Amino acid sequence: MVPSTLSLARWLGPWANPRKAPHVDVRDEDLDGMRIRIYGSQGHPYLIAPGLHYAGPDDPRLDRFCRILANAGHLVIAPFIPDYLALTPTARAIADFRRVFAARARWTTARPTVFSISFGSLLAFSLAADHASDLDGLVIFGGYADFHATMGFCLTGQVASGREAVRDPLNQSIVLMNLLAHLEPACPDPEAVAATWRRYVMRVWGRPEMKARERFTQIADELAPGVAESVRELFHIGIGTRPGAIELAMPALARYDARALDPTPYLPRVRGRVDLVHGTDDDVVPFEQSHQLASQLSHADVHVHITGIYGHTGSQLPRPSAVVKEMITMVRVLRVLAR
C-alpha cells in the first residue's frame, strides 16, 4: 500500500478506535453567510457533500472522517449546507453546494473529488451532471436513487426485494417533519412539534444505544411535557412511542412532491469515475439503492463496493467466514480514497 492508503487504513479499518482522530490544521471560513470548514492546507482536494445532520461537519463522525482524509495528505472542503442543517432539504441545498464549488479557487486549483454521505448524494450528482470535466470523480457513500422508497424504508424497514432489513428508528421523526404540510388531518402547530423533534434527534443521534426502544422512549418522555397538548400525541407518533406513524405518514409521503430531491434526472449526464460504497447493514438507506444508482449511471465509469464493514450509523464486524472478502473490499475503498 502507498503511504496515504496505510494512513487511511490505520484510522478507518475495523481495528481503529472510533473516538480518536488525527490532529490536522482546521479552520472555518465564510462564503456569503455560509460556513465552510477547511481541513489541511494542500494536497488533492476533496469536496464533501454532507448528509442530513443538524451539526454538519461539527458532527464528531464527519469531523473525524475529514481529519483522517486530511491526515492522509488531502485538502478537505466541508460546507455547512443550511437546508441539511435544518433537516428539511429543498432545491436550495443544490444551489448552495454549487456556490461552494464555484468558489473552489479560494482553496485549490486542482479538480476536486466529491465525497457524498447519504442524502448528500443528491448534491454530488446534480453538480457532476453539469461539471463532470471539472471533477476528479465521485465517491458516493450510502447514496439513494429513489427518494420515496428510501423514506418508506425509514418508516417501515421494508425493501422491494423482500430482504429482511433493519431500519434506524431514530430517524422516523425527521421523515414526519418533512411531511408535516401533507398530513391529514392537518397539524395544528407544525413549528412547535418540529422544534421538539429537532431537540429529540439532538439527544439521540450518534448514540447507537439510543436505538433501543426503552432508551429513546425515555428521551421522548422527558421532552413531552414541553410540547403543546394539541400536538403531543403527534410528537409521540413521530418518534414511535405511540402507534400510527405508518398509517399517518405513508399517505402523506404519496402526496409529497419530491421532484427537487430526485437524483435520477442527473444520473445519465454524469461522466467519469463514480465509486458507490454502501454498507450491507445500512439502516437508513438500503444498499440496494446503490445498485439502482449504478444501473442508471449509464455514461459513467461505475464501481460498486458493497461491504459489511462500513455501515451508515455504525456497523459490526463481519462473520469470520466473510472477513477475507470484506478486507479486500475495504482495501479497494481505501485505495479509492487515497488516489
Domain containing 250 equals: 166-255
216-230, 261-275, 325-339 — which is least confidently predicted? 325-339
pLDDT at 307: 87
Q: Are residues 49 and 89 part of one domain? A: yes
Q: Which of 202, 236, 255 is the last residue of a domain?
A: 255
Q: Are residues 310 and 250 part of one domain? A: no
Name every residue whose Cβ is closer than 8 Å to that of residue 183 and which is 6 or more positions away in sequence.
176, 234, 248, 249, 252
Q: Which residues pair with 273 in a beta bridge?
A: 301
Q: Which of 40, 157, 31, 158 is nearest to 104 (CA)?
A: 31
Q: Are residues 118 and 9 part of one domain? A: yes
310 has pLDDT over 60: no
Length of the chain: 339
pLDDT at 13: 76
pLDDT at 3: 58
Q: Are residues 301 and 197 part of one domain? A: no
8 A C-beta contact, residue 219 and residue 200: yes
Q: Is residue 217 part of a domain?
A: yes
pLDDT at 134: 98
**Mean residue pLDDT across the chain:** 92
Our count of domains for the chain comes to 2
Q: Is residue 27 part of a domain?
A: yes
Q: Are residues 26 and 108 part of one domain? A: yes
Average pLDDT over residues 136-159: 97
Average pLDDT over residues 186-214: 97
> Looking at this protein, which amino acid is placed at residue 307?
T
pLDDT at 339: 66
Q: Are residues 270 and 246 part of one domain? A: no
**Any idea which residue has 496505510 for its cell?**
6
Q: Are residues 83 and 172 part of one domain? A: no
C-alpha cell at 55: 451539526
Q: Are residues 203 and 118 part of one domain? A: no
* CATH number for the domain harbouring residue 97: 3.40.50.1820
Name every residue whose Cβ is closer than 8 Å to that of residue 247 and which is 6 or more positions away in sequence.
none
Q: Is residue 151 part of a domain?
A: no
For the segment 23-68, what is each residue's pLDDT rounded down to a tens digit? 999 999 999 999 999 999 999 999 999 999 999 999 999 999 999 9
